[in-house]
Amino acid sequence: MTKLSYPKALNKALRDEMERDPAVCVFGEDIGAGIAQVTLGLLNKFGSDRVVDTPLSEQAFTSMAIGAALCGMRPVIEFQIPSLLFLTFEQIANQAHKMSLMTGGQVCVPVTYVVPGSGSRAGWAGQHSDHPYSLFTHVGVKTAVPATPTDAYGLLVSAIRDADPVVLFAPAGAMAVRDDVDSRALEPVPLGRARIHRAGTDVTVVAVGHLVHEALAVADELDGEISVEVFDPRTVYPFDWDGLAASIAKTGRLVTIDDSNRSCGIGAEIIATVTEEMTLVAPPKRVTRPDGAVLPFALELDRAVQPSREQLVTAIKTVMK
């Protein structure tokens, strides 16, 4: 039983799927060298016709993956920075996502987009610190934000096997997390199935990605005083509404914490759906980045813009009032 690191989990998922299915291939920048660790060793093992170091042309190789998918491949794309999803938004949202319906079901586009180190990486500042998973939730592209190495493995495997495009965000804030698991026990995690990291009876805290660990710390801190259920959706789209309904039925209270901007973020969606379809005994609260947030460079400013443990504690205490 060895400690599994987050990057190793992604690396193993890729390796296992490439061994299992010759259609799986990887495109990206510097993936031969494995700079982001996710692709370490894959070039040597599978060769350059399955591990393709691409030039700095994200838009072209993102659409190239579509063409390869139309011809039977299952490409995985690694993006070095989250904002490359802005650059390739047309290719993902307007091309890959729409092809199945537009062709009347003639084709599917099983492409997986992986962003290792999404969200703030201290010091990378404005254009390298985005966490745009809510954008893909809005356009309807399947979106996973694993909080742990085990889920990172299981969700990447499921993403690769899925018939549709899937974006997987590996939050920089979760990259240091390690799991005590027997790597032989790792298995696929279905898209759309939440995970209760900690059961509780007073309030449901829906936490996304690295913030799951903040939520768990807060739950510990409040232990005895408030019984917090920590609910990790694992995929923000599709979202496990049934699982959340069960949790809310138990607690009747809701707080969300996630690292996307406030307006039209996943926090808003969770509160909206719960208010429309479930019953709460107290008004819900969400903790997010501010509206329109741009992360400033200086560390104390960067931190000030991100959701914090303190904000979560206050929110929980407010809904318990």
Partner 1 sequence: MALSAAGLYRRMRLIRDFEELALRLVKSGDIVGGTHPYIGEEAVAVGVCAALAEQDLITSTHRGHGHVLAKGSDPARMLAELTGRETGLNRGRGGSMHAADIGQGILGANAIVGAAAPIAVGAAWAGQRHGTGQVVATFFGDGGLNQGVLLEALNLAALWQLPVLFVCENNGYATTMPVRTGIAGSATGRAEAFGIPAVTVDGMDVEVVRDATAEAASRARRGDGPGLIECLTYRFGPHHTMEYGIRLNYRTQEEIEHWRQRDPLTIQGGRITPAERAQADAEIEELLAEAERFALTSPRPDPAGALDYLYASGMAARAGVA
Q: Which residues are catalytic?
A: 128
Site for ligand TPP in 62-121 (CB under 6 A): 80-81, 84, 87
Residue 198 CA to its chain's centroid (Å): 19
Nearer to ligand TPP, 57 or 201 (CB): 57
Best CA proximity match to 20, nearest among 152, 182, 188, 170: 188
Site for ligand TPP in 10-29 (CB under 6 A): 29
C-alpha 200/C-alpha 213 separation (Å) is 16
Binding-site string for partner 1 from residue 3 to residue 42, where x marks contact by CB under 8 A and - marks none? --------------------------xx-xx-x-------
Q: Is 49 in the site for partner 1 (CB under 8 A)?
A: yes
Taking the complex as a whole, the smallest distance from the CB of residue 127 to ligand TPP amounts, in Å, to 8
Residue 320 interacting partner from ligand TPP, a second copy, partner 1, none (CB closer than 5 to 8 Å by kind): none
C-alpha 118/C-alpha 236 separation (Å) is 15
C-alpha 142/C-alpha 265 separation (Å) is 15
C-alpha 63/C-alpha 253 separation (Å) is 43
Q: Is 294 in the site for partner 1 (CB under 8 A)?
A: yes
- Residue type for 73, please? M
Q: Which region, judged by CB under 8 A, interacts with partner 1, from 2-10, 193-201, 204-212, 279-287? A: 279-287
- Residue type for 224, please? G
Burial 48-64 (b: 16+ CB within 10 A, else e): eebbbebeeebeebbbb
The set of residues, in sequence order, having a beta carbon less than 8 Å from that of 270 and lying 6+ positions away, is 206, 239, 244, 254, 256, 286
Taking the complex as a whole, the smallest distance from the CB of residue 176 to partner 1 amounts, in Å, to 14
Query: Is the peptide bond between 238 and the residue preceding it cis, with omega within 30 degrees of 0?
Result: yes
Residue 271 interacting partner from a second copy, ligand TPP, partner 1, none (CB closer than 5 to 8 Å by kind): a second copy
Binding-site string for partner 1 from residue 105 to residue 144, where x marks contact by CB under 8 A and - marks none? xxxxxx----------xxxxxxxx-----------x-x--
- Please classify residue 185 by burial: count the beta carbons closer than 10 Å to its beta carbon, then call 0-12 exposed, 13-18 middle and 19+ buried: exposed
Q: Is 127 in the site for a second copy (CB under 8 A)?
A: yes
Q: Which helix (H) or strand (E) holds 133?
A: helix 133-139
Q: Are 186 and 12 in contact (CB under 8 A)?
A: yes
Q: Is 73 in the site for partner 1 (CB under 8 A)?
A: yes
The number of residues making up the chain comes to 321
Give phi and psi for 318, each to the nearest 5. Answer: -65, -45
Best CA proximity match to 80, nearest among 48, 33, 42, 44: 33
Q: Is 83 in the site for a second copy (CB under 8 A)?
A: yes
Site for a second copy in 226-245 (CB under 8 A): 237, 239
Q: Is 116 in the site for a second copy (CB under 8 A)?
A: no
Q: Is 66 in the site for partner 1 (CB under 8 A)?
A: yes
Q: Is 276 in the site for a second copy (CB under 8 A)?
A: yes
Site for partner 1 in 198-257 (CB under 8 A): 238
Chain residues in the site for a second copy (CB under 8 A)? 83, 86-87, 89-90, 93-94, 97-98, 101-102, 125-127, 130, 132, 134-135, 137-141, 237, 239, 260-261, 263-269, 271-273, 275-276, 283-286, 291-294, 296-297
Instruction: List residues near ligand TPP by CB under 6 A.
Output: 29, 56, 58, 80-81, 84, 87
